[in-house]
Structure 1
Amino acid sequence: MKLVLFDVDGTLVDSQSIIVAAQRMTFEAHGLEPPSRERALSIVGLSLTEAFMALAGPKAPIARLVAAYKDVSAALRQDPAHAERLFLGARECIEGLRHREGVLLGIATGNTQRGVARLLDSFGWQGGFATIQTADDAPSKPHPGMILQAMAATDVSPQDTVMIGDSSFDMAMACAAGVLPVGVSWGFQPVAALTEAGAGPIVHSYAELETVLQDFLEAPSQISA
């Protein structure tokens, strides 16, 4: 079996509108200067606690910021102007992998289990992922815990696992876990940051990603230890 792990925000889903708006509203509600758009998106992939510590500093009321951000995000999702959309080609790629023999799909995200469940429901992907690892279940990226737990849950070796993501945190996490790190250029961080973090192939479309995955999936599988 081969395990294909996907990040969510910035890789499968374009959620930048909600992320930027929710951060701005949260900071303003607490009398803090909101981060720039670039800065707001640079921390996507971290757990919320780690993200707000990076954005506001350890002396800020982190727990209150996290709680407020969750409430604001939930409210914004009811507004069509902030609708989360799949990136072009994402649905076709996932659907093809879901029905391919010898392939297990997984998620490794800084999102929450609740947030992932809502997304899977909205896209009709319930039950399509063999393992879902979130910030609820493991240390924040770039710690390798999410990937290690995903491999343990599916009994797949590092040599047969690939991590696909848009951030330096995804790439560093994959390298630390000993799996193939594949970066995507359409997300929230510049390609240079992915390269510096250890990305292997970097793709610029889902069509390119499918070509990379085809080579990975056709390589002989390794026996899990």
Structure 2
Amino acid sequence: MHNFLFDFDSTLADTRDVAVLATQQAYAVKGLTQPSREAVVSYMGVPIEVSFAKMATETLSDTELAELYTEFRAQYHEAEKLGITLFDGIADTLTALKQRGDHLYVVSSKHSVPLQRNLDQLGLGQTFEAISGSDTVSHYKPAPDGILSLLDRFDLAADESVMIGDAKYDMQMGHNAGVATAAAMWGAADPASVKAEKPTYLLSTPAELLTI
């Protein structure tokens, strides 16, 4: 593999606590029933434009949902200051991949503005050649749009490309795009569902990316 496409949340960085706190706070501010931690975690990897309506016990209008998205982004901006951390081994692995001439990208369900802000916060702002956020695609994961746009934009060979992620949606997106898939088991909240997608590679540590 020469082209590495990474998910962000729970693949590059541990953001689970931040996502749960920001989501629950957003629902509370809007007077809505707070989703459980388990519900929030189960939807990580899915854009909020899809997951928030499903987690709400109330029926929300498009306007109310838009206001909830805005509130979540504000809450996330505050919560992320409490700590987003890279998983052990990620920094060294990214450095080694770049040093040997491989190409690195991020394909995330997160909006590209907070995605870039989080990468900057972690010292990875200049590490990736490009990022693809939820605002840059017409169809969200598991649709292959984010991957296909990068393959086309940078003239990447699909058979030399791999999608790395912690959730079943990442594996499904990779399959749909016709690229290899690597399960980042160090961040998987539901390992069984990830394994069920039969990823090309099942990785227990980031360093194993150097062997594929």
Give the TM-score of the pair, scaled to structure 2. Answer: 0.91
Instruction: Specify which of 75, 80, 87 is matched with residue 78 of structure 2.
Output: 75
Q: 1:191 to 1:31 in 2, by over 3 A?
A: same
Structure-2 separation of matches of 1:160 and 1:26: 41
Structure-2 separation of matches of 1:90 and 1:205: 9
The match for 1:125 is 124
Q: 1:199 to 1:17 in 2, by over 3 A?
A: same
Q: Identity over the aligned pairs, expressed in percent? A: 28
Structure-2 separation of matches of 1:164 and 1:141: 13
Q: 1:173 to 1:83 in 2, by over 3 A?
A: same
Structure-2 separation of matches of 1:24 and 1:184: 26
Structure-1 separation of matches of 2:33 and 2:187: 25
- Higher mean alpha-carbon deviation, 142-151 vs 43-52, is at 43-52
The match for 1:136 is 135
1:16 CA drift (Å): 0.9
Counterpart residue type for residue 86 of structure 1:
L
Report the secondary structure of 2:170's partner residue: helix
The match for 1:53 is 53
Structure-2 separation of matches of 1:178 and 1:29: 42
Q: 1:210 to 1:54 in 2, by over 3 A?
A: farther
1:14 CA drift (Å): 0.3
Counterpart residue type for residue 73 of structure 2:
K
- Alpha carbons 1:12, 1:90 under 8 Å: kept: yes
Aligned length: 208
Q: Which runs of 4+ in 1 moved over 3 A?
A: none
- Structure 1 residue 10 corresponds to structure 2 residue 4: no
1:66 CA drift (Å): 0.7
Counterpart residue type for residue 203 of structure 2:
V
The match for 1:150 is 150
- Alpha carbons 1:105, 1:129 under 8 Å: kept: yes
CA RMSD of aligned residues (A): 1.7
Q: 1:32 to 1:38 in 2, by over 3 A?
A: same
- Structure 1 residue 62 corresponds to structure 2 residue 48: no
Counterpart residue type for residue 159 of structure 2:
Q
Counterpart residue type for residue 109 of structure 1:
S
Give the TM-score of the pair, scaled to structure 1. Answer: 0.86
